[in-house]
Amino acid sequence: MRDPRLKVLAKQILEHSVKAGKGDKIMIHGQPNTKPLMLELLEEAYKLGAYPFMELKDDELDRQWAIQSSLEQYETIARWEMQRFQDLDALIYIVGEENDAEMTDIPAEVFRVSGEVMKPVTDYYINKCRWVLLNYPTKSLAQKAGMSTSKFEDFLLDVCTVDYAKMAAAMKPLKELMEKTDRVRIVSPGTDLTFSIKGIPAVMCYGERNIPDGEVYTAPVRDSVNGTITYNTPCPYQGTTFRNVSLTFKDGKIIKAEADQSEKINDIFDIDEGARYIGEFALGLNPMIHHPMGDILFDEKINGSIHFTPGLAYKEADNGNVSSIHWDMVLVQREEYGGGEIYFDDRLIRKNGLFVVPELEGLNPNALLGKGK
């Protein structure tokens, strides 16, 4: 039996996220366990007069292929993929995670090579195509979230179908304030960090590129970051989850990186020069996401959080940093996570995860959910 909520989600993806229209060529990328949503997307795409195409991938097969892959193979794939993306209008990328450790034994050099060779392709579809990335509810994700499968299905579908139009309206004052701000200070247990965001655009995210969504992001001036940040959530990267990550900066560069796997995390930051600089600073705003679950699509949207991201800067908020990595790392500042403050030009903006200036109170969870301030 079809879940009617998947039809609602499919319509939201097509109409709101990728704005599908008559004649649009749309690639629906999924995994075998995402078939129910893919069926709804196919049906709704045809109703809109679009031309949908399908691609099914499997993590176990991808691992077996990648573990012995060569530079020549990636160069061939890059040519094929670039041609394909140049012929598409939109991409819907559905992740059906079954084992988030599937890729842990692939050598770091493989990730480095693939990241470098595929970067022009990634840049093309990010900047030239309409696209959206989302998770499908699986037993693996439910386990990470500490929920039963059925409860997690309800949670995910509720989170993915929040009122993004209302969220967008509430984000506008934050965007305007960020674009007027020079100095930012972040204070939390183990964290005292300063940087500038002067002259860099702020970008609102409300269900067009990610589902679930809810953040406003910019980037620090590349060499302006000084101090230390300690992340209080798991930091997954290419199948390995790092904990207790602490980064110390001087003039923008990570000069000290510590974690439960310090040697391995430093190997990642040594992939290229840009990996030790920050490409994104964002505030998480989704009123229905409260706790980390080790999946960045959810964790970076936690209300009362920030993420401070080593690696590539997005074109829309570009500070000039270039890297083959873009690693979102999350700090939750709500009181139950130790609290914390954000200052813009020495003015307290958010305390313990709640905005404290009148023009931003509409972004607090109760306001977004229609329960007051």
Per-domain boundaries in the chain: 4-160, 164-368
Portion of the chain with pLDDT greater than 70, in percent: 99
Average pLDDT over residues 145-170: 88
Look at residue 305 in the predicted model and tell me its pLDDT.
98
Query: pLDDT by residue (tens digit) across 56-98?
Result: 999 899 999 998 889 999 999 999 999 999 999 999 999 998 8
Topology of domain 4-160, CATH: Thermophilic metalloprotease-like (3.40.1830)
Cα–Cα dist 57/98, whole Å: 12
Cα–Cα dist 251/227, whole Å: 9
Average pLDDT over residues 4-31: 94
pLDDT at 100 over 80: no
pLDDT at 1 over 80: no
Cα–Cα dist 231/250, whole Å: 18
The DSSP H or E segment spanning 308 is strand 305-310
Look at residue 170 in the predicted model and tell me its pLDDT.
96
C-beta neighbour count of 2 within 10 angstroms: 10
Look at residue 243 in the predicted model and tell me its pLDDT.
95
Query: pLDDT by residue (tens digit) across 228-275?
Result: 999 999 999 987 899 999 999 999 999 999 999 999 999 999 999 999
Portion of the chain with pLDDT greater than 90, in percent: 74
Look at residue 292 in the predicted model and tell me its pLDDT.
92
Torsion angle of C-alpha atoms 45, 48, 50, 52, degrees rounded to 10? 10
Look at residue 308 in the predicted model and tell me its pLDDT.
98
Query: Which tokens sit at 232?
Result: 């209080």
pLDDT at 372 over 70: no
Cα–Cα dist 204/178, whole Å: 11
